[in-house]
Amino acid sequence: MRDRISKDRYEPAYAQLAAILRRRIAEGVYPPGEKIPSESAMSKEYGLSLMTVRQAIGVLMEQGLLERIQGSGTFVKPLKLTESRFDLDSLREIFHDPERTQVKVLQINLTRADPKTAEILQLPPHARVILIRRLLLRDGQPVMFHEGHIRCDPRRPVVEAELSLGPLSDLFNGQGTGTAKKGELIVLPALLGEEDAALLNRPVGSPAFRLEYTVYDFDDVPFGWGWFTAPPEVMRLKTKLGLWEER
Amino acid sequence: MRDRISKDRYEPAYAQLAAILRRRIAEGVYPPGEKIPSESAMSKEYGLSLMTVRQAIGVLMEQGLLERIQGSGTFVKPLKLTESRFDLDSLREIFHDPERTQVKVLQINLTRADPKTAEILQLPPHARVILIRRLLLRDGQPVMFHEGHIRCDPRRPVVEAELSLGPLSDLFNGQGTGTAKKGELIVLPALLGEEDAALLNRPVGSPAFRLEYTVYDFDDVPFGWGWFTAPPEVMRLKTKLGLWEER
DNA sequence: AAGTGGTCTAGACCACATG
DNA sequence: ATGTGGTCTAGACCACTTG
């Protein structure tokens, strides 16, 4: 109870309270599964308004440390491996600095849709599509392979951005100014085939991630799909959960 | 401007406003990258308090649809594949119903730590550890393989839960009542080796996920590590981003 | 019935970005 | 200087859970 919120400080009150609660959880004062003091109790104890207390709890909820149960209380959440979340941070680095990243276009064609592409893009068989295959290099070393299929739509100005030699930033850092409304992604384990392995300069049959995507425009029409192939060193799916130092 | 918040309704005002904004984004009224009306403007327009408007925006921010930039405005966020997040929902199903899930213990030993285990668990070479190897079955079909190494600590009552035949729920649905403070996980692509393949009843060399974990107790001492091997059908890493119907 | 979280208001002042 | 989001208050009433 000796913890206080200092008013005259750069750190907002809700953040201070969140830090206090976080520390108490780490010290075992509030063990996993247990209830923490009620919002009104903390409001009085620290001289904060209810909304501020709630904001502090909100912070720790986003971090997966607390759980609110209406009418019953706020509880310390035990670790659940099934609730872990992975993101593609490791790829962000790559696409965010054009200094070290180069793109080598292997192939770019106006061609006819194969059956799978026709199905995914909801096109008649043999409709026209654009096929792109490219290699992503990092400091000159090949790190990722990409194959993409784009609907060939007269209404859309065949998005130069998507064909550009640029750092793919349009696909990964925001679809141009907004052709895409939604997308679907799936990560799969895969083996490097002969071609992939040669391109990426790795042994045939070594394990890699395959990131498949489909993107839809604002009419909910799928306009592109494809995949990236990346070895695990490049695309790390790593996460922490529970109480690590700073978040 | 014809949208209104109806007061007398089961749906909270902030949710109604969030739905309105969501629809406007979907309709292209607020295109990606553009600024939406200011909080005070919406506060006046809909007759809501500022806090309520902020809550609505907060909802859409969590969904990755909006981005607040202090002093500048709130913007519609373009799709960024690198910001997609994957979770282990597919595993949650498995561990949550003991009806269909069985665990078959293949091996359970008090043994000596191998070098890797000693390093990870911060133990002297050849220290005592518990080794568990088990097979997870779903409707009688093998779906997942687990190998775990647990620190053999006299202070801790060798957590029966962890050794139990139970549905592993302690590992995946909350570490008992709270032996674990934090954990680290990494997903890797892998090939099924001879043993794994035989156990899981799959072809040798087929691709699979390997989920490696380490868990720490409240003294920050690592007390267990191990991995799960699962074919992609079992452990789906799939996600959507952008504007799908209901979230 | 009492306690808890969930929603909401009508103000206030501050920090930051932009012109 | 103006407008934006960021924080905060001191109340209020409602919905839910529990004894």
Residue B19: pLDDT band by 50, 70, 90 thresholds? Answer: very high
H or E element at residue B94: helix B89-96
Q: Is the pLDDT of residue A98 over 60?
A: yes
pLDDT digits (tens, 9 = 90+) for A112-158: 999 999 999 999 999 999 898 999 999 999 999 999 998 887 665 55
Q: Give the mean model confidence (pLDDT) for residues B170-198.
A: 80
Task: Tell me the average pLDDT of chain B.
Answer: 88
Percent of chain B beyond pLDDT 90?
Answer: 66
Higher pLDDT pick, B64 / A176: B64
- Tell if B7 CB is < 7 Å from nucleic strand D: no
What pLDDT does residue B170 have?
53
Residue A82: pLDDT band by 50, 70, 90 thresholds? Answer: confident
What pLDDT does residue B166 have?
40
Q: Is the pLDDT of residue B159 over 60?
A: no
Domains of chain B in sequence order: 13-78 (1.10.10.10), 89-230 (3.40.1410.10)
Q: B85: which 2 tokens?
A: 């997040």
Distance from CA of A209 to the nearest CA of B (A): 6
Q: Residues of A with CB below 8 A from B177's CB? A: 31-33, 78
What pLDDT does residue B156 have?
59
Task: Mark yes or no for CB contact B240/A182 under 8 Å.
Answer: yes
Q: Is the pLDDT of residue A175 over 80?
A: no
Closest CB to B181: pick one of A26, A83, A181: A26
Q: Is A244 on the interface with B (CB under 8 A)?
A: yes
What pLDDT does residue B137 have?
92
Residue of A nearest to B28 (CA): A218
Q: Give the mean model confidence (pLDDT) for residues B143-156.
A: 83
Closest by alpha carbon to B195, among B106, B66, B63?
Answer: B106
Closest by alpha carbon to A218, among A163, A176, A164, A169?
Answer: A176
Question: Rounded to an integer, what distance in angstroms lies between the CA atom of residue A44 and that of residue B170?
Answer: 37
Closest CB to A183: pick one of B81, B89, B216: B81
Q: A50: which 2 tokens?
A: 């209810």
What pLDDT does residue A16 have?
96
Sign of CA dihedral B25, B28, B33, B39: negative
Distance from CA of A129 to the nearest CA of B (A): 22
Question: Rounded to an integer, what distance in angstroms lies between the CA atom of residue A64 and that of residue A15?
Answer: 16
pLDDT digits (tens, 9 = 90+) for B108-142: 889 999 999 999 999 999 999 989 899 999 999 99
Provide the positions of strand D that have an atom within 7 A of a protein CB.
3-12, 15-18
Residue B179: pLDDT band by 50, 70, 90 thresholds? Answer: confident
What pLDDT does residue A157 have?
56
Which of A138-147, B17-26, B96-105, B138-147 is predicted least confidently?
B96-105
Question: What are phi and psi for residue B226, nearest 5 degrees?
Answer: 170, -165
Higher pLDDT pick, A104 / B116: B116
Residues 192-221 of chain B with CB under 8 A from chain A are 205, 207-209, 213, 215-216, 218
Q: Is the pLDDT of residue A177 over 70?
A: no
Closest CB to A85: pick one of B80, B87, B240: B87
Q: Give the mean model confidence (pLDDT) for residues A78-99.
A: 86
- Tell if A69 CB is < 7 Å from nucleic strand D: yes
Partners of B239 in beta bridges? A185
DSSP string of A96-149, one letter each residue = H-TTTEEEEEEEEEEEE--HHHHHHTT--TT-EEEEEEEEEEETTEEEEEEEEE
Q: Is B223 on the interface with A (CB under 8 A)?
A: no
Using C1' positions and the CA of A35, the closest nucleotide is: C4
pLDDT digits (tens, 9 = 90+) for B208-224: 999 999 999 889 999 88
Q: Residues of A with CB below 8 A from B89's CB? A: 82
CA of B69 to C1' of D3 (A): 13
Q: Is the pLDDT of residue B73 over 80?
A: yes
Q: Residues of B with CB below 8 A from A36's CB? A: none
Q: Is the pLDDT of residue B44 over 80?
A: yes
Higher pLDDT pick, A246 / A175: A246
Q: Is the pLDDT of residue B176 over 50?
A: no
What pLDDT does residue A81 have?
87
Q: Is the pLDDT of residue B26 over 80?
A: yes
Closest by alpha carbon to B79, among B236, B240, B247?
Answer: B240
Task: Tell me the average pLDDT of chain A.
Answer: 88
CA of A143 to C1' of D17 (A): 55
What pLDDT does residue B100 have?
87
What pLDDT does residue B223 have?
86
CA of B121 to C1' of C15 (A): 46
What pLDDT does residue B70 have?
96
Which of A151-165, B24-38, B131-145, B163-177 is predicted least confidently?
B163-177
**How far does chain A reach from its first CA to its final CA, in angstroms?**
24
What pLDDT does residue B101 have?
84
What pLDDT does residue A62 have?
95
Residue A172: pLDDT band by 50, 70, 90 thresholds? Answer: low
Q: Is B80 on the interface with A (CB under 8 A)?
A: yes
What pLDDT does residue B93 have?
81
pLDDT digits (tens, 9 = 90+) for A223-232: 889 999 999 9
Angle, helix A50-62 to helix A13-27, in steps of 10 degrees: 50
Q: Is the pLDDT of residue B1 over 70?
A: no
Q: Give the mean model confidence (pLDDT) for residues B83-112.
A: 87
What pLDDT does residue A14 have?
97
Question: Rounded to an integer, what distance in angstroms lies between the CA atom of residue B21 and that of residue B36?
Answer: 9
Closest by alpha carbon to A91, among A241, A244, A211?
Answer: A211
Which of B82-96, B123-137, B146-160 is predicted least confidently?
B146-160
Q: Is the pLDDT of residue A247 over 80?
A: no
CA of B3 to C1' of D5 (A): 24
What pLDDT does residue B116 have?
97
What pLDDT does residue B146 have?
92
